[in-house]
Structure 1
Amino acid sequence: MTDRDAPAPVATSVVIEAEDVRLSADVTRPRSAAAYGVVVFAHGSGSSRLSPRNRAVAARLVDSGLATVLLDLLTAAEEREDEVTREYRFDIPLLASRLVAATDWLSDQDTLAGLPVGYFGASTGAAAALIAAARRPDRVSAVVSRGGRPDLAERYLDRVRAPTLLIVGGNDPLVLDLNRRAARPMRRVARIEIVPGATHLFQERGALERVSELACEWFLQYLDGKRTGGNDRSGE
């Protein structure tokens, strides 16, 4: 079967309730086989579930056999207010609580319940992902950060059990330094992967493709083993 003949992924738009708000999300599942895990995306400041970079990574994950959830961490009204006041984009505990709500929501979905969960966080969304992983240690099996700000989750880093991959651009020295410092207190597997020549948004040719490749490898290692009951393969 060629790629052209392969069954298309199944995409669904949903609403996830998080405390007193309703958040829009897009769920995509691979059609050709049962997903070996589900990855929830946490976008960065000033972005949304429509982020073209996150969607490019998500498409690659679906091709590799993962389900994905692209989630708006803010409501439409909050996004409009944040554009003016920037009130919400750095409220990391709030963003993390909504990521936790989305994780709990997965347990009630027939096609997703029981699947190992991973987080993919970008920029400030990476901090939210790490806090949520610390709050749901028995549910979250892997975290990948793209150009993330793990330093904004400083008080939670030593509580993160999920193996974490920190992807940073080689030409993003400030964020690279922040990631190196943040990795030190993490007690579980925490690896830094540098994409040579890439800046913060990974806009350079081939940079985002490399991010997608690294994320696929990480989630395959740490989610697929959970699904099959195999070894953790953490390297510890």
Structure 2
Amino acid sequence: MQTLQQEIRVDDVTLGGTLEIPDAARAMVVFAHGSGSSRFSPRNRQVAAGLHRAGFATLLFDLLTPEEQRHDSIGAAYRFDIALLARRLGGTLTWLAARPDLAALPLGLFGASTGAAAALVAGAQAPRVGAIVSRGGRPDLAGPALACVAAPTLLIVGGLDETVIGLNRKAAGQMSCEHRIEIVPGATHLFEEPGTLEQVTRLAVDWFVRWLIAAS
């Protein structure tokens, strides 16, 4: 396993990232974290570890600079700016495509909370994206882009996260691509209950294997 700390120049800012590449990687998954989080999110890192065991390379990166994160802790000026987050994710995908060692790998996106909306918007604009997974996401914030998403999309929601379940069902009704909602029983929004994040990881791995590896 290679672990590489990266500086990604996007949108006239430099974003920190962690690129992890297992031996004989079969596909790549890029993570878009949620509100108030970063590339060090323990939940996303746990999901990434499960993907590594299944042969996926991963990129976890900061959607905001440290200064933006400090301002964001006071208000929500950046974390709900889906256009900004999606633009940075799209620029990161362009940066990744320039790496000859990774450019040919099938590509998926994993988004959490508001990062899920950014993943859907960026995925709608990037034909190379072959699959998308949302964890506790706000796909409704992707707006008109939902109708343009072509990549098969899995929406994972906690069974006790009733408001977000409703928002995911509303968003799914606007999607014409292959999609499915998976509700994890007994889980709240952050999937902190024992065993629930393991279920998220299993669902994500199965979805990405199906659409990025078995379908290629």
| TM-score normalised over the length of structure 1 | 0.90
RMSD: 0.8
* CA distance in 1 between partners of 2:162 and 2:89 (Å): 28
Q: What is the aligned residue count?
A: 216
Equivalent residue of 2:145, what SS?
helix
1:106 shift after superposition = 1.2
1:130-209 matched pairs, under 5 angstroms: 130-136=120-126, 138-209=127-198
* CA distance in 2 between partners of 1:135 and 1:125 (Å): 15
User: What does residue 101 of structure 1 align with?
Assistant: 91
Structure 2, unaligned stretches of length 5 or more? none
Structure 1 stretches (4+) deviating beyond 4 angstroms? none
User: What does residue 3 of structure 2 align with?
Assistant: 11
What is the identity percentage for the equivalent residue pairs of Structure 1 and Structure 2? 56
User: What does residue 15 of structure 2 align with?
Assistant: 23
Which of 47, 55, 62 is matched with 1:65 structurally? 55
1:12 shift after superposition = 0.4
User: What does residue 81 of structure 2 align with?
Assistant: 91
CA-to-partner distance for each residue in 1:92-144, whole Å, 9 max, x for gaps?
100000000111111111221111110000000000000000111x2100000
1:206-221 matched pairs, under 5 angstroms: 206-221=195-210
User: What does residue 5 of structure 1 align with?
Assistant: none
* CA distance in 2 between partners of 1:104 and 1:114 (Å): 13
CA-to-partner distance for each residue in 1:69-93, whole Å, 9 max, x for gaps?
0010000111011111321010010
| TM-score normalised over the length of structure 2 | 0.98
The answer to whether residue 212 in structure 2 is matched with residue 223 in structure 1 is: yes
CA-to-partner distance for each residue in 1:31-64, whole Å, 9 max, x for gaps?
2xx2111000000000000000000000110110
The answer to whether residue 67 in structure 2 is matched with residue 77 in structure 1 is: yes
User: What does residue 111 of structure 2 align with?
Assistant: 121
Larger radius of gyration: 1
* Amino acid aligned to 1:132: A
